[in-house]
Structure formats: structure tokens, C-alpha cells
Chains A and B, each alone.
Chain A
Amino acid sequence: MSTVDLNNVSRWYGNVVAVNDVSMTLGPGVTGLLGPNGAGKTTVLHMMAGFLSPSKGKVLLDGAATWRNPAVYSRLGLVNEREAVHGFLTGYEFVHLSAKMHKLPDPAAAARRALERVEMTDAQDRRLETYSKGMRQRIRVAAAMVHDPQVLLLDEPFNGMDPRQRMHMMSLLHALGDRGHTILFSSHILEEVEQVSGTVQVIVAGRLAASGDYREIRRLMTNRPHVFAVQSSDDRRLAVALIGEESVSGVEIDAAGMTVRASDYGSFTRALPRIALKEGIRLRKLLPSDESLESVFSYLLEA
């Protein structure tokens, strides 16, 4: 059981304050680090992982500072956002060499175990440069947890994964959390966090805007509508059908398709395919608009 503590941590670059007086404690289980793009999530993660010095305050792993302390990596794993890997190595070599650098007693067995966990055994003999984005992400997760670290930090781990891989990664993180590991992952997609973790830390403009159980914070946000960008084979007819739906509070049609405001995320996403099917309309695009999320965050910050 390990804990990560941030005590009044600030980080600035010149005149720009990236992280402002953040305090949090991460314990066993899965925690989501949520915030819009540019909020300071990566800066927080890098400070936790010992790759940035806090300008003020302390970042501790089990009471020991992470900055300039490579010993922490025997208990900590990091999957950063930049997906660079040594492309000339095969998947197996990459994970096996990680195990060897951790000086594990049986690196080959540890590598096989980690590859099985992320379901990459089939592709383990291919060179990393031939991998898709999702495969690279999974192989990096395998390398980061080859030594079974107590703390695993992941920066935007679901980027580039298809829905099946996403589900698998989510259940993997759940399983690790249930076994008492401390897992922190960052994301700017609210629903992604909802599916993986109950506990969240919300960062907006470098400050900790909310912290705790996701559902409680979510209830505070219900008076903000969710905005979706929708494209279909007949936007106008779909708009007419949608406005009759209770969960839809507004529809706007523009050149790029339409913007739908929904008061209830779940009811709307269940209703949309049903309505489209009934009307015989083909859906081409459905995107939860990032803007609405950011407005929720700024609402949180104002509150």
C-alpha cells in the first residue's frame, strides 16, 4: 500500500503558473485526474513521477521526495503521454529489457506476465515501429507495470485506443486498483473517467477545483447541459425528431451538422440511436463536444 502526497505544490514556468497550490493525497484504488486541455494535469503527473521539480511545496511517495530520487521507480510506474518507444525493439524485448533494468529475479517470467495482462502476447515478436497507436500504448503499460509497482501513473492512457482496447484497459486498471495498487490516470474526457474511477481530482487552470467521489461532483453539474456535435444523413429531420425527446433541451443546425444540447447524458445517448433507427436516418458523427466540458470546469472553478 503506497500513497502519493502533494503538499501545497505550485509549479511555474517564468511568469506562467502551471500548477497553483495543489494539495492532494492518493491512496490505493483508481483515481482519475480530470481537467480540460492545458489545465496542468501533465505537470502534476510529471511532478509525481519525479520528472519536474515543484517550484514550491513537496511531492512525496510514501514520505520520500520523488524529485532526484531514482529509487522511487522500484515502487512507481509511469506511462507518459508522449508515445515514443524504441522502435527497433520487439514488444517482448521492450518489456523484457524493462524487467532487466528493474533487476527483477526472473525478468523473462515478469515480461511474459505483463504481456499477458495487456493481451499483447500475439504481437510480442513484432518490432514496435510496426505497432498501431493502441498497441504501443498497451506495450508501454506492460513495460511500466512489469515490476508490479505499487503506484502507477498514466497520462491520457486511452488516447488512440479502440473501444474494445479501452474497455480492456479500464478493467485492467480496475483490477489493479482492487488489488490495492494506487492508480492515477489523467483524462480530459469526463465520461472516460466516470467509467473507470469513482474518485476524481479535477484540475482547472492549475488549481484543484474539486476532489472526491465523482458522482457527488457530477450531481453539482446537472444544471449544465451536455453538448454533442451530430452529423447524419438528414440533419433537419433528425432535429425535428430529437426536439420531441425529453432529454434534449435544444438543437441548432449549421453547415457542419448540428449541435444538440442534452440535459441528461445517459438518456440522450440511449435515445439517439433509437430515434435514428425509427426515422431511417444514418448517423455519421456523434461527438461529446469538448467545449461543454470546459464550461463545466469553469463553472466548477467559479463555484
Chain B
Amino acid sequence: MSTVAYITTRGLFGRRRALLLLPLPLLLVGLALLCRAYDVPPSDWGTPVLVGLGLAVLLPVITLIVGTGVLGSEVDDGTIVHILTKPLPRRDIILAKLGVAVLVSTVTTAVPLFIAGWLASGWKLGAGLAVAAAVGTCAYSAFFLLLSLLTRRPVLLGLVYILIWEGLLGRFVTGTRVLSIDQYVLTIADKIAPTDLLTGNVSLPVAVIMSVIVTVGCTIAAIDRLRSFSMAGETS
């Protein structure tokens, strides 16, 4: 593990913010368990729990917390300077931070999604959701990492993207779906494990290609942005 990744991981779990990662996965698994325990047919609860809560809320929100936590908090409190004053290629810093974000987010989202999917329709759906979540965390993390370098309010803008763009516009304006990461995730999960519970709205090639473009594009932009990282003087 690189030193930057080590500091990032310690920073992520050293802040209280890490506790925010717990409630949503517990809620998702809890709801799925509850529905199974009371023998509610999966057709009644599968879509709202797996898609409405799992893919539309749990996945982006957890990735937002982690993705902005690995870099945004350091930019915010100024500790990033200790990493930037080292002769490290900026690419290595971004890749280390992205790696930590993707790993932590994937574990935190794919495991509960796998369990919930498995409870709803068997292990295949669970696996489909987990793989799709892993793809989703790559795209979301790169996007939120870039946001941390573009604005001083990455969490707010990230929430606007999740709630307004994906949540609201994605539902009513079909054109926005091509630019919505949650739609790629939904399509990938649906293609791996076709069930009545999930319905993809974009084609598989679009989902895969766009996921790659978002991940790679945002990462390259973040590297370039970090190269030009500026500090404004507090007194001048």
C-alpha cells in the first residue's frame, strides 16, 4: 500500500464521518430480512428496496461520503499540502486516493446489495447487483474526487447531482439517463441477472462505455486539476 493510500485510509476511518457509512447498509439488509421474515413476495418489495433504496440512495450516498472524504476533507482543512509538498507525481496521489475510495465504497455497498439481492431472488441477482455496484463506485468515486478539486462544496454539489439530476430529472426527462451513473448500474445489474425486479433504461454498450468514459475522464481531469492546485494566502 502506498504511503498516500495509508494516510488516506487512516484519515477516512479516523474521522467521525466514517460512522455515516453504517446506517444505510444496515437499513437495506434489515428491510430485506424483514420482508423475507414476513414472507412478503419479492415482487412487492424487491424494486423499491433494491432499486429505490439500494441503487438510487445507498450506492451514490456512500460513494459520495467516501469519495469526498478521501480528498475533499484534506483540501478543506489544508492538510493536503503535506502530501503535495512531496516529489510525487500527481497521478500517483489521485490513483492512490481513488483506489482507497473505490475499495471502501465497494465493500460498503456491494456486500449489503449482494445480501439484499440474494434474499429477493437468489445469489445470481445478488452477484449482479454486487458487480454493478463495483462498476458504479468506480464512476461515482472518480466523479466525486474531481468535484472535491473543482469546488469547495463537493458534498452539496454531489447531493444535487444525486437528488436532482439522477433522482428527479432521471425519472421524468429520459434524455438525462445517458448521463446518469445510476442508470448504468441498473442496466449492468439487469443484464447480469435478468429479473422482473430490475429494468434497465439504457443499453448495455452505453452503460459500459459511459462508465469507462466517466471513470477515466474524471480521473484524468482530477490529476490535471491537482497539478494546478493553488493556495490562496489567508492574509494577502
Interface residues, chain A, CB within 8 Å of chain B? 13, 18, 37-43, 45-46, 49, 51-53, 68, 70-74, 76-78, 80-82, 84-89, 94, 97-98, 100-103, 143-144
User: Do B88 and A101 touch across chains, with their CB atoms under 8 A apart?
Assistant: yes
Q: Which of B56-64, B74-82, B98-106 contacts A (4 or more CB under 8 A)?
A: B74-82
Say whether, besides A53-B230, A88-B14, A89-B10, A38 and B78 are in contact (CB < 8 Å).
no
Does B227 make an interface contact (CB < 8 A)? yes
Q: Which of B87, B89, B232 sits near A74, CB closer than 8 Å?
A: B87
Bound-state Cα–Cα, A72 to B84, Å: 11
Q: Which of B82, B87, B227, B236 sits near A86, CB closer than 8 Å?
A: B82
Bound-state Cα–Cα, A87 to B74, Å: 11
User: How many residues on B have C-beta within 8 angstroms of the other chain's C-beta atoms?
Assistant: 31
User: Do B236 and A88 touch across chains, with their CB atoms under 8 A apart?
Assistant: no
Does B235 make an interface contact (CB < 8 A)? yes
Q: How far is the CB of B233 from chain A (nearest CB, A)?
A: 3
Q: Which residues of B contact A73 (CB under 8 A)?
A: 85-87
Q: Which of B4, B7, B229 sits near A51, CB closer than 8 Å?
A: B229
Q: Which residues of A contact B39 (CB under 8 A)?
A: none
User: Do B233 and A43 touch across chains, with their CB atoms under 8 A apart?
Assistant: yes
User: Do B78 and A97 touch across chains, with their CB atoms under 8 A apart?
Assistant: no
Q: Which residues of B contact A13 (CB under 8 A)?
A: 232
User: Do A78 and B86 touch across chains, with their CB atoms under 8 A apart?
Assistant: no
Q: Which residues of B contact A97 (CB under 8 A)?
A: 3, 6-7
User: Do B86 and A101 touch across chains, with their CB atoms under 8 A apart?
Assistant: yes
Q: Which of A42, A70, A71 sits near B236, CB closer than 8 Å?
A: A42
User: Do B82 and A81 touch across chains, with their CB atoms under 8 A apart?
Assistant: no
Q: Which residues of B contact A82 (CB under 8 A)?
A: 78, 81, 234
Does B90 make an interface contact (CB < 8 A)? yes
Does B228 make an interface contact (CB < 8 A)? yes
Say whether, besides A41-B236, A84-B79, A85-B79, A70 and B86 are in contact (CB < 8 Å).
yes
Bound-state Cα–Cα, A41 to B77, Å: 21
Bound-state Cα–Cα, A18 to B236, Å: 7
| Interface of chain B residues 181 through 236 with chain A (CB within 8 A) | 227-236
Q: Which residues of A contact B81 (CB under 8 A)?
A: 51, 78, 80, 82, 84
Q: How far is the CB of A105 from chain B (nearest CB, A)?
A: 15
Q: Which residues of B contact A68 (CB under 8 A)?
A: 227-228
Bound-state Cα–Cα, A213 to B64, Å: 54
Q: Which residues of A contact B234 (CB under 8 A)?
A: 42, 81-82
> Would you give 6 A-B contacts (Cβ < 8 Å), ordered by A?
A43-B233, A46-B230, A73-B85, A88-B11, A89-B10, A97-B7
Q: Which residues of B contact A45 (CB under 8 A)?
A: 233
User: Do B236 and A40 touch across chains, with their CB atoms under 8 A apart?
Assistant: yes
User: Do A86 and B85 touch across chains, with their CB atoms under 8 A apart?
Assistant: no
- Interface hub of A43, A51, A102 (most chain B Cβ within 10 A): A51
Q: Which residues of B contact A100 (CB under 8 A)?
A: 3
Say whether, besides A86-B79, A88-B14, A101-B4, A18 and B86 are in contact (CB < 8 Å).
no
Does B83 make an interface contact (CB < 8 A)? yes
User: Do A143 and B82 touch across chains, with their CB atoms under 8 A apart?
Assistant: yes
Say whether, besides A39-B236, A82-B234, A88-B14, A49 and B85 are in contact (CB < 8 Å).
yes
Q: How far is the CB of A85 from chain B (nearest CB, A)?
A: 6
User: Do B235 and A37 touch across chains, with their CB atoms under 8 A apart?
Assistant: yes
Say whether, besides A40-B236, A70-B90, A85 and B231 are in contact (CB < 8 Å).
no
Bound-state Cα–Cα, A43 to B236, Å: 6
Q: Which residues of B contact A143 (CB under 8 A)?
A: 82
Q: Which residues of A contact B83 (CB under 8 A)?
A: 101
Q: How far is the CB of A248 from chain B (nearest CB, A)?
A: 32
Q: Which residues of A contact B7 (CB under 8 A)?
A: 86, 89, 97
Q: How far is the CB of B107 from chain A (nearest CB, A)?
A: 21
With CB as the reference atom, state the residue of chain A lying closest to B230.
A52
With CB as the reference atom, state the residue of chain A lying closest to B76.
A84
Known: A46-B231, A97-B7. 5 other contacts (CB 8 A): A39-B236, A42-B235, A51-B231, A70-B89, A87-B14
| Interface of chain B residues 11 through 30 with chain A (CB within 8 A) | 11, 14-15
Q: Which residues of B contact A144 (CB under 8 A)?
A: 85
Q: Which residues of B contact A53 (CB under 8 A)?
A: 228, 230
Bound-state Cα–Cα, A102 to B87, Å: 6
The 5 closest A-B pairs by CB, nearest first: A42-B233, A88-B14, A84-B78, A101-B86, A51-B231
Q: Which residues of A contact B84 (CB under 8 A)?
A: 51, 70
Q: How far is the CB of B81 from chain A (nearest CB, A)?
A: 6
With CB as the reference atom, state the residue of chain B lying closest to A35.
B236
User: Do A52 and B6 touch across chains, with their CB atoms under 8 A apart?
Assistant: no
User: Do A70 and B82 touch across chains, with their CB atoms under 8 A apart?
Assistant: no
User: Do A81 and B4 touch across chains, with their CB atoms under 8 A apart?
Assistant: no
Bound-state Cα–Cα, A46 to B3, Å: 25
Q: How far is the CB of B80 from chain A (nearest CB, A)?
A: 9
Q: Which residues of A contact B233 (CB under 8 A)?
A: 18, 40-43, 45-46, 81
- Interface hub of B4, B89, B230 (most chain A Cβ within 10 A): B230
